[in-house]
């Protein structure tokens, strides 16, 4: 088992526990032990894009100092690649890491400000787990599959934060393929969705515009359904909430709407690795289990 | 004799004005020695009550320091000012009516989400608590972690006074401990037993006896009292 530093983020500990359970199982299946950062703080959630806003980079950089310390203490295998699952945390952490790497003055100011920490040296690489899988090789993933997701028609949903902005996104923002290659590697059938990177409505869901989000869910989910998808996968807890939980409201606005399970990518990976008990299938709002039983991918 | 004492004198600046005080006094006593009398901003004088939050700067240092005035020795060249009170809103809640499944801390104190992890609260805490990390745990609704990390808080308010995000840390932590105590921590069996005993009237006779005593008898009873010992392991918690 290779020990990687791991940043969970608030949502994986709270609303998306099924994301974390399945993430840890998925990593294990790849011989990766995720060593959670001791004492981590919020990634910063939505880092400011303003050029001179430095204060909001303190939170993410503080987490990166923790990774540096883990290496110094030998808690991970000289591994400066920080593994993140949540698209939003990934985006914020990577953006800050990149920012201070390119701006020595800003790094110095942040280091001077954080006078209770050792200096951040700028060496941590923030990696989304999909990238780690891509590095190991999707063929290697296929070799480890115990229960291929045969006959399951899966549509990838990327959202925004996994793909943008340039230099941060993990794939081509206009024509991404990493999730499709992931689905194929697990033996699933890839279904395209023209709206796979259309914004889900993001934070409108907590403000006064839930209807906007429900309309987005209608459009995005139907985009997948029209092409024959059984389910969708994502790696963003906010997208997951907007596409999964918000389906209730979508159904109210559009009585013709048919529900569709929306899972975290790690949930289908844990399934395919024969770890369905750790896939957190009881955590989704729209239950995927009836569908999986129907396709003989789940017993009982 | 006078000369010897003079050698041990230091100069402190209280709200900008210089005073000569003997070395070795706490900040609180140095101020009292200089003629200040505390109506507010002082309490137990033993580091427990949290009433005497104070701010100061040391000679030639940029740091804005915080402490309990009754626990910190005055040094030569210190600039002192006592805080009489830290204003902080405590939002109203009925602990019996909340839904602990939701993140109550975020609901009643949404400003916790403004935390930028600057760590100023932790640096200001005279109890050396990891204040920032318990706020981080509060953001994700981890009542247990907040309770454990904030348990030694004496509510002096210094974190709150210093926070750039205007969080009232100690009220957040108090709510977390109340939620955890009511909904999650183990029920203290010995307490329930004692309540039952009280309700059954086991102590009524004793109370009546105490009520009938005069002051002298009461004092004697107090001095000679038996300190109750709980059997080992029978304490509240986990």
B53 near B68, Cβ under 8 Å?
Answer: yes
SS3 B5: helix
Out of A42, A56, A116, the one facing B119 most closely (by C-beta) is A116
Domain of residue B64 covers 7-82
Write out pLDDT tens, residues A213-242. Answer: 999 999 999 999 999 999 999 999 999 999
Out of A10, A11, A116, the one facing B123 most closely (by C-beta) is A116
- Report the b/e string of A32-43 with b at 16+ CB within 10 A: bebbebeebbbb
Residue B236 covered by a domain: no
Chain A residues closer than 8 Å to B139 by CB:
10, 42
Strand partners, B73: B26
> Both B78 and B24 in a single domain?
yes
Measured in whole angstroms, the distance separating CA B18 from the mean position of its chain's CA atoms is 30
Chain A residues closer than 8 Å to B164 by CB:
55
Residue by residue, pLDDT tens for chain A (300 residues) are 999 999 999 999 999 999 999 999 999 999 999 999 999 999 988 766 677 888 999 999 999 999 999 999 999 998 999 999 999 999 999 999 999 999 999 999 999 999 999 999 999 999 999 999 999 999 999 999 999 999 999 999 999 999 999 999 999 999 999 999 999 999 999 999 999 999 999 989 988 899 999 999 999 999 999 999 999 999 999 999 999 999 999 999 999 999 999 999 999 999 999 999 999 999 999 999 999 999 999 987
Among all residues of chain A, which has the CA nearest to that of B143? A14
Strand partners, B80: B14, B56
Residue B227 covered by a domain: no
The CA dihedral of B123, B126, B130, B135, to the nearest 10 degrees, is -90
Query: ipTM of this predicted complex?
Result: 0.86
Cβ count within 10 A of residue B201: 9
Q: What's the distance, Cα to Cα, between the start and end of chain B in Å?
A: 58
Residue A206: exposure state from Cβ atoms within 10 A (0-12, 13-18, ≥19) = exposed
Chain B residues closer than 8 Å to A42 by CB:
115, 117, 136, 139
**By C-alpha distance, which of A134, A16, A142 is closest to A81?**
A134
Residue B55 covered by a domain: yes
**By C-alpha distance, which of B71, B70, B94, B51 is closest to B182?**
B94
Q: Distance between CA B140 and CA B13 in Å, rounded?
A: 44
- Give the number of domains in chain B: 3
Q: How far is A64 from chain B (nearest CA, A)?
A: 13
Q: Concatenated DSSP letters for B86-118?
A: ---------TTT--TTS-HHHHH-GGGGG----
Q: Read off φ and ψ for residue B37, nearest 5 degrees.
A: -120, 130
Residue B235 covered by a domain: no
> Both B47 and B69 in a single domain?
yes
Q: Distance between CA B235 and CA A235 in Å, rounded?
A: 45
Residues of chain A contacting B, Cβ within 8 Å: 10-11, 13-14, 39-42, 44-45, 55-56, 58-59, 62, 113-114, 116
Cβ count within 10 A of residue A195: 16
> Both B124 and B156 in a single domain?
yes
* Residue B63's CATH number: 3.10.20.30
Domains of chain A, first to last: 2-130 (1.20.1050.140), 147-294 (3.40.50.11810)
What is the pTM (predicted TM-score) of this model? 0.87
């Amino acid at each position: 088992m290779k020990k990687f530093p791991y940043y969970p983020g608030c949502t994986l500990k709270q609303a998306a526990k099924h994301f974390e359970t399945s993430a840890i199982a998925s990593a294990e299946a790849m011989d990766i032990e995720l060593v959670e950062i001791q004492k981590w703080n919020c990634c910063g959630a939505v880092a400011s894009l303003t050029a001179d806003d430095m204060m909001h980079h303190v939170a993410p950089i503080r987490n990166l100092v923790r990774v540096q310390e883990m290496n110094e203490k030998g808690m991970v295998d000289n591994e400066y690649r920080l593994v993140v699952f949540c698209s939003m945390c990934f985006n914020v952490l990577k953006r800050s890491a990149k920012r201070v790497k390119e701006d020595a003055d800003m790094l110095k100011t942040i280091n001077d400000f954080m006078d209770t920490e050792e200096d951040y040296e700028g060496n941590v690489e923030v990696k989304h787990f999909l990238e780690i899988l891509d590095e190991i090789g999707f063929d290697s993933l296929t070799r480890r599959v115990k229960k291929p997701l045969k006959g399951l028609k899966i549509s990838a949903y990327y959202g925004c934060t996994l793909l943008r902005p340039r230099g941060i996104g993990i794939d081509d923002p206009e024509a991404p393929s990493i999730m499709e290659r992931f689905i194929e590697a697990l033996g699933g059938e890839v279904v395209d969705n023209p709206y796979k990177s259309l914004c889900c409505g993001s934070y409108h869901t907590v403000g006064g515009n839930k209807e906007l989000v429900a309309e987005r869910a209608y459009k995005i989910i139907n985009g997948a359904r029209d092409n024959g998808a059984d389910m969708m996968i994502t790696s963003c807890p906010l997208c997951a909430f907007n596409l999964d939980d918000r389906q209730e409201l979508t159904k109210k606005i559009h009585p013709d709407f048919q529900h569709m399970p929306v899972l975290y990518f790690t949930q289908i990976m844990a399934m395919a690795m024969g770890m369905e008990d750790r896939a957190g299938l009881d955590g989704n709002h729209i239950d995927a289990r009836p569908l999986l039983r129907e396709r003989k991918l789940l017993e009982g | 004799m006078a000369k010897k004492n003079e050698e041990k004198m230091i100069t402190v600046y209280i709200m900008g004005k210089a005073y000569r005080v003997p070395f070795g006094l706490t900040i609180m006593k140095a101020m009292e020695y200089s003629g200040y009398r505390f109506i507010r901003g002082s309490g137990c004088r033993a580091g427990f009550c949290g009433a005497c939050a104070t701010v100061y700067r040391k000679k030639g240092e940029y740091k804005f320091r915080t402490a309990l005035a009754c626990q910190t020795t005055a040094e030569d060249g210190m600039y002192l000012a006592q805080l009489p009170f830290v204003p902080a809103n405590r939002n109203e809640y009925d602990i019996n009516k909340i839904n602990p499944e939701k993140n109550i801390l975020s609901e009643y104190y949404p400003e916790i989400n403004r935390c930028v992890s600057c760590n100023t609260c932790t640096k200001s805490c005279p109890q050396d608590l990891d204040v920032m990390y318990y706020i981080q745990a509060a953001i994700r609704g981890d009542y247990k972690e907040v309770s454990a990390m904030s348990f030694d808080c004496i509510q002096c308010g210094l974190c709150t006074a210093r926070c750039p995000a205007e969080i009232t840390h100690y009220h957040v932590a108090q709510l977390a401990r109340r939620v955890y105590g009511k909904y999650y921590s183990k029920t203290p069996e010995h307490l329930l037993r004692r309540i039952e005993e009280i309700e059954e009237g086991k102590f009524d006779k004793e109370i009546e006896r105490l009520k009938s005593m005069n002051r002298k008898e009461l004092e004697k009873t107090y001095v000679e009292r038996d300190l109750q010992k709980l059997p080992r392991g029978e304490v509240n918690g986990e």
